[in-house]
Amino acid sequence: MGCRERAAKSALLRIVADGDECVPDPRGTLPGRGAYMHPVTVCLDLAVRRRAFPRAFKAKGPFDSAALQRYVERVTP
Ligand SMILES: [Zn+2]
C-alpha cells in the first residue's frame, strides 16, 4: 500500500480501521483487517490519494487519517 514497493513486514507499519478512522498499530495487536505501509508521509499521502484504505479495509470509507498522519510524522520526522 502507498508506494507499492516491496518491503519486509518489519519495515512496514500495520494500520487498522477503527470505525471510520485509520489507526496505527505498530505492535500488531489490534483486531481486524490490517493494511501495511512504510511509516513515511509520502507513502501515506499516496495511500490516501489512491483511496487505498477503503480498498484495504473492504469498506466504503472515507477514512480519517489524521491520527495516522500525526503518528507517521512523529516516528519519521
Ligand atoms: Zn512505501
| pLDDT by 10-residue block (mean), the chain, 77 residues | 81 94 96 93 94 94 95 90
Cα–ligand 1 centroid distance for 1 (angstroms):
7
Cα–ligand 1 centroid distance for 46 (angstroms):
8
Cα–ligand 1 centroid distance for 53 (angstroms):
14
Q: Tell me, what's the pLDDT at 43?
A: 94
Helix, strand or coil for residue 41?
A: helix
Predicted TM-score of the model (pTM): 0.89
Q: Tell me, what's the pLDDT at 5?
A: 83
Residues sharing a CB contact under 8 Å with residue 41, sequence separation 6 or more, in sequence order: 69, 72, 73, 76
Closest to 72 (Cα-Cα) out of 42, 27, 29: 42
Q: Tell me, what's the pLDDT at 71?
A: 97
Cα–ligand 1 centroid distance for 36 (angstroms):
9
Residue 76 to residue 58: CA distance in whole angstroms: 27
